[in-house]
Each structure stands twice: as structure tokens, then as C-alpha cells.
Amino acid sequence: MDRRIHAFLAVARSGNLTQAAESIALSQPALTKTIRMLEHEFGGQLFERSRRGMKLTAVGEALLKHAENIELQYRLAHEKTRAVRDGEVSKFSIAAGVVYHSDVALQLIERLAQEFPMTKLRLSFEGPNSALPKLLDGEVDLFLGALIGGAPEGIKSLWLMKIEECAYCSRNHPLANAETIAIADLVDCQWIIPSRTPELNMRLQDFYASHSLPPPNISIEIDAISGVCNVASRSQHLTLLPQVLERDAAKYDLVRLKQLPPIWQFSSGALFRESSESYRIVQRILALIPTLLS
């Protein structure tokens, strides 16, 4: 990648010439000269210099978006050529959402460990909002979860199934044995939801608003799904879980409130970098996942 763009990004991200120079192993005078050359090339001041550091000007902000895209495309080009040349990777990271993390992703990791013994595998629990930036940065190689909005440039998607997020409660909750449940019955209910999926919070808010109810009382947020289920099973809180995980929920003595419509419906699948598609492990994953879901 162009060294001047690399230098510009270092200064923009740190806001400090000294720190930026150290991060790219360049002397401060050389970095200052590089920035001045860029300013001359683009015909405008890129940074406002002060005792507090370096702040992007309007011209600098305009360049930043393009510089970050250049950096991304350069990194993707490296990955693409390496994938075509080698076909193998030394490590591979998978991030999975609620639907996939507890079962499908575990089965996938087990199969990959057998078929790619020389590749170091990592599985983490992530929602789409946190996983996508990591996917673009290369920290995550493949994401299994909600497909929200269009895939950004350089990212490919594979649709796998439609997900319905439904209301669940413990078996001793008053609503668990009710013959009929009106949506208005949710007004006084307390909710517990996973903190890693902020989209659920927003969708629950939307559901209440669409039925002219006051905002939901989300009184607890817990990072781990197992923690959410444990607390919900021992309390009077309602929670949100995908319908496809109804059997898993039953292990915690949670029941789905079938009388209620889904709180949220969305498509889910796999996201991966287009530049990594030539890797054998990616090709194998894309072939395995549908069979693991069937």
C-alpha cells in the first residue's frame, strides 16, 4: 500500500505525530514531510495542528474515507492472492450468533478440526453489529448469524434460513399456562435479553410501539445466552429466543409463548470475505453448513 496513505491513516487514528511515527517505524520529521507532501498533492490542509494533537480538517475527513477503502482493498488483494497461491491458512476464526453458537458452530468446529488439523481454529459468540467490523478487519474470517441490511463491498453472504425471535418464560410464569394471551398482557412484564445483540432491544421496542404499548421494561441484560436462560428460568422475566432453539430452551424449563406472534423475523446465514473464498477451509465450510442444518 502507498506509504503516504499508510502514514496519513496512522496520524488520523492516533491524533498524535509522535505516536503515529512510532506505530509505523518512521521518524517524526519524515512523517511530517510525508503529510506535507500529501497536503500539496491534494491541494489542502489535512490536519489542524495544536498542542492537543492532530485533528482532521474537512479535506482530511474526505480523504479518510477513501484512504480506509484503499487500505481495505489492499488487504483483501493480499488475502485473495495468498488464497489462490496457497489454498491453506494457519488459523481461522468463526464468529457465531445465538442460533448457531450452541450447536451448529460447535459441530462445524469439530469437523474442521478433523479435516484441517494444521489450522488453529477459534470460535466466538458475536452479534452482527460487532462481528461485521471484525470481519472487514480480518480479525474474524466467517460470521454465522443475522443478515441485516446489504453486505458491504468485499463481503459475500450465503442465506441459510429464516429466524423468528419469540417470547419465552419459565414454566411457573402466569403466562405459561394461560389459554389465551393478549399482546396487552405484556405491558407489565419484565424482560431479560442478551447484551451482545442490541438489535433485540430495538426490535422489542419496535414491537411494543407497533401495538401502541408503552416501552418494554428491559430490566436485565446478560452477556451469555446460558446466563439469560438460567435467570429467566428462575424468575418472572420474559426473554427472547429463536423459535429454532425451542428444544434448547426446554432444557432450562423455558416455554415459548405460542399464542404471541414473533417479536422479530429476519434472514440468517454466513458472511465471509470474497477474497477468502479460494481457501479450501472456506469452501468446505460453505458445503458443510447446509448439511449440519438439515
If asked whether residues 276 and 259 sit together in one domain, one would say: no
146 plus 275 within the same structural domain: yes
Same domain, 37 and 176: no
**pTM of this prediction?**
0.71
96 shares its domain with 223? no
18, 97: one domain: no
Picking from 25, 52, 84, the residue at the C-terminal end of a domain is 84
> Do 184 and 257 have their domain in common?
yes
Domain count within the chain: 3
Q: How far is the first Cα of the chain from the last one, in angstroms, to the nearest whole number? A: 44
The predicted pLDDT at position 83 comes to: 61
Question: Which one of 37, 60, 84 terminates a domain?
Answer: 84
Q: Are residues 15 and 111 in the same domain?
A: no
Pick the closest to residue 8 from 42, 31, 29, 26 (CA basis). Answer: 31
Per-residue tens of pLDDT for the chain, all 294 residues: 688 888 888 999 999 988 988 988 989 888 889 898 888 889 999 999 888 888 999 999 999 988 888 887 877 777 667 666 766 788 999 999 888 987 899 999 999 999 999 899 999 988 888 899 999 889 999 999 999 888 888 899 999 999 999 999 999 999 998 889 999 999 999 999 988 778 889 999 999 999 999 999 999 999 888 899 999 999 999 999 999 999 999 999 999 999 999 999 999 999 999 989 888 999 999 999 999 998
Q: Are residues 155 and 166 in the same domain?
A: no
User: Within this chain, do residues 262 and 173 fall inside the same structural domain, yes or no?
Assistant: yes
Which domain range does residue 56 map to?
3-84
The CATH number assigned to the domain holding 240 equals 3.40.190.290
Domain end, chosen from 84, 114, 129, is at: 84
Based on the domain organization, do 101 and 131 belong to the same domain?
yes
Domain match, 44 and 178 both? no
